[in-house]
Amino acid sequence: MGALGHYLETQGIPTTQISLIREHTQTIQPPRALWVPFALGRPLGRPGDPAFQTRVILAALALLEAETGPVLTDFPDDAPEASEPAEAEMDLPACPVSLARPEGQKTETEQLLETFRQELADSRSWYDMATARRGFSSVAYFAPQAAFQVFNDFLLDKPIPLDGNIASTALALRLAAQDLKAAYFESVMVRPDVTLPDDTAFNRWFWQKTAAGEVLRAVRDKCRAADDAALKLNGDLLLVPMDQAFA
């Protein structure tokens, strides 16, 4: 989107945009951008809050008053917290996977990855059903099994194959995490035994009840211990929401 903004500006069309990943925006340097501290996939903040979303849109449009760029401005507020769910909604569904540790001499990381692999296998039919009903999936780069392979290779110190569109391990991890959460969201929405009334309830379920959330925390911890600055940024800010970092 930032590259498209540069092109449109050469045609005399002023542009502005909303950024969810500051690192990308700083690199591309679009003409005008508003960085927002919200979860990936929520550029306007929490759904169902039109007043707050309007504030975000107006803040992005206000950047059009700047005649030249690049301009990168931070939105000053976090998204408002969801109201406390009703008592019946607090009993969030657990993943229907046995979390018993496999037998053998596997390391704790290998055991976690094995649990994650089984969780993906058990949820595959729900993901396929969701994709068939909608006619598409919002997963853009890594299907669930491919995302598993990225995290598996990273946690086991294996090289992650990269293509021309994904230039670094740090970017591969971020995109795989984004696609994995999208796949879980789509899957859980078609399950008749699960009721998650909003994205806040989904986030609690994903980060507190699934092996996928536990794996992403393990990836976060390894990124934070890395020497690479981009991996450190992943670990500090971009993989696990702050409100779920220590849940």
Which 8-state DSSP code applies to residue 123?
Answer: H
Residues sharing a CB contact under 8 Å with residue 100, sequence separation 6 or more, in sequence order: none
> pLDDT in tens for each of the 247 residues of the chain?
666 777 788 888 899 999 887 777 887 888 999 999 887 678 888 777 899 999 999 999 999 998 777 899 999 887 665 544 443 344 445 555 444 444 556 789 999 999 999 999 999 999 999 999 999 999 999 999 999 999 999 999 999 999 888 999 999 999 999 999 999 999 988 888 777 767 788 888 999 899 999 999 999 999 999 999 999 999 998 898 877 765 5
CB atoms within 10 A of CB 159: 8
CB 215 within 8 A of CB 113: yes
Buried/exposed 174-186: b ≥16 CB within 10 Å, e otherwise? bbbbbbbbbbbbb
Quote the CA–CA distance of 46 and 34 in Å, as a whole number. Answer: 17
CB 72 within 8 A of CB 26: yes
